[in-house]
Amino acid sequence: MEKFDVKKAYKELYAPSRRDFSLVTVPRFSYFAVDGHGDPNTATEYSEALEALYAVSYATKFASKKELDRDYVVGPLEGLWRADDPEAFVTCDKASWDWTMMISQPEWITSAELTASITAVGAKKNLAALDKVRFLELEEGLSVQILHIGSYDDEAPTLDRLHHTFIPANNLSFNGDHHEIYLSDARRTQPEKLKTVLRQPVSRP
């Protein structure tokens, strides 16, 4: 049985250069997602969202292998971040952030599988955010991205360069939420070695 891995199937989207910004076209992906607000380092809502996301994602993976004979690697954690003022990301005003944490799903996984997994997980565990997990389809289209290596708190200079240099110089406009893909497990990786894809959907006039 061949195991699907989104990072390998879409290498250009999950392994960008760390030196230069690159323009990519992101197709439609399906995700399991949870919405929330506040500083991810301190908000209970955030840790509860991740717990529910991983529980449902792994339940779906095991069900897919057993019932559909289709196996896959659970995708990395991803996040959509938004604020009334985009400068909140440059200044690290985390308390003002709204977020959608999510994990991509193979194309054969649908909302029906999500519903079944929520029921299965709920029968075994009492997770605060379980009923908040939703099925999300997202097509970001034209986007700018780069690989950041280091602490999440050190992203600001790169985002500043993206917002104030690359996007204006290339006559681009913001066209969607700031998107991060977490390639490293923050619990097991030293901050200076964390790998994160930084992506910003854009549009041309």
137: burial class by Cβ within 10 Å (0-12, 13-18, 19+)? Answer: exposed
Overall domain count for the chain: 1
Q: What percent of the chain has pLDDT over 70?
A: 97
179: burial class by Cβ within 10 Å (0-12, 13-18, 19+)? Answer: buried
User: What does the alpha-carbon distance between residue 57 and residue 189 come to, in Å, rounded to a whole number?
Assistant: 22
Residue ranges making up the domain that contains 63: 3-203
Tokens representing residue 104 in the block: 């991509």
Domain of residue 120, CATH code: 3.20.80.10
Residue that the structure tokens 């196996």 belong to: 71
pTM of the predicted protein model: 0.94
| pLDDT score for 91 | 65
Q: Three-state SS string across 32-70, please?
A: EEEEEECCCCCCHHHHHHHHHHHHHHHHHHHHHHHHHCC
DSSP state of 183: -
pLDDT tens readout for residues 163-196: 999 999 999 999 999 999 999 988 889 999 999 9
Per-residue pLDDT of the chain (205 residues; tens, 9 = 90+): 689 999 999 999 999 999 999 999 999 999 999 999 988 988 899 999 999 999 999 999 999 999 999 999 999 999 999 987 766 666 677 778 899 999 999 999 999 999 999 999 999 999 999 999 999 999 999 999 999 999 998 998 999 999 999 999 999 999 999 999 999 988 889 999 999 999 999 999 8
| pLDDT score for 180 | 97
